[in-house]
Amino acid sequence: MTQPKPLRADAQRNRDAIVRAAREIFSEEQKEVPFEDVARRAGVGAGTLYRHFPNRDALLAAVFEGEVAALRGRADQLMETLPPGDALGAFLREMVDHMYSQRGLARTLFAASESAGGALSDEGQVLEDAVTGMLSRGIEQGHLRDDVPAGAVMLALHGIAVAAVHSERRQEADGVIELMIDGLRRS
């Protein structure tokens, strides 16, 4: 498979501005925002927007990809600086913080993933891979149990994400993370 040709610097700036504007708008929970509003906020013309993103799903996918890349980068940073169990705990807590602070964006992405039939699941796999790496290191070093797969951790996070979108139960979410971390530690 061939890699897409890199964008010119000005085209990359425009694309980045569009994704930033879309993220802001979706975070504000503006559901049916005309594409022209995204273009206006990004400071580009509608043609530029459509050249980069032919439809709303493509734009949402780019926003989600950016969110996941930032979270994956944070996971890598935590793995480099903390023991595996602590890195996993910190990452899960930060994921919950992110879910609650970006509820509007999460609601938009949930709605998009339901209508797109799981088209955003590849990005979810990136986060599961990060959790798998943390669990593996923790198991290798004897700190974490070896009988809980990363998929189970991700399922618990998904449940917290759904709760975050639909409730104000932030403290309970922290309690679930603590319960999960305690349950993952080797006795």
Residue ranges and CATH numbers for the domains of the chain are: 8-54 (1.10.10), 56-184 (1.10.357.10)
Q: Residue 116 is encoded by which pair of tokens?
A: 């797109």
Give the pLDDT confidence score for residue 65 in this predicted structure: 87
pLDDT tens by residue, 82-127: 998 899 999 999 988 888 777 777 777 666 665 555 555 566 788 8
Residues 6+ apart with CB under 8 A from 177: 89, 92, 93, 96, 160
DSSP string for residues in 32-67: T--HHHHHHHHTS-HHHHHHH-SSHHHHHHHHHHHH
pLDDT tens by residue, 33-58: 788 889 999 999 999 999 999 988 88
**Summary count for the chain: helices (H), strands (E):** 9, 0
Give the pLDDT confidence score for residue 115 in this predicted structure: 56
Rounded Cα distance between 87 and 177, Å, is 13
177 pLDDT exceeds 70? Answer: yes
Rounded Cα distance between 45 and 37, Å, is 10
| Inter-residue contact 109 to 158 (CB < 8 Å) | no
Residues 153-174 as b or e (16 or more Cβ within 10 Å = b): bbebbeebbebbbeeeeeeebb
Coil vs helix vs strand at 162: helix
User: What pTM, to 2 d.p., does this model score?
Assistant: 0.79
Give the pLDDT confidence score for residue 113 in this predicted structure: 62
- φ, ψ dihedrals at 41, nearest 5°: -65, -35
Give the pLDDT confidence score for residue 173 in this predicted structure: 84
Nearest CA among 24, 22, 21, 19 for reference residue 7? 19
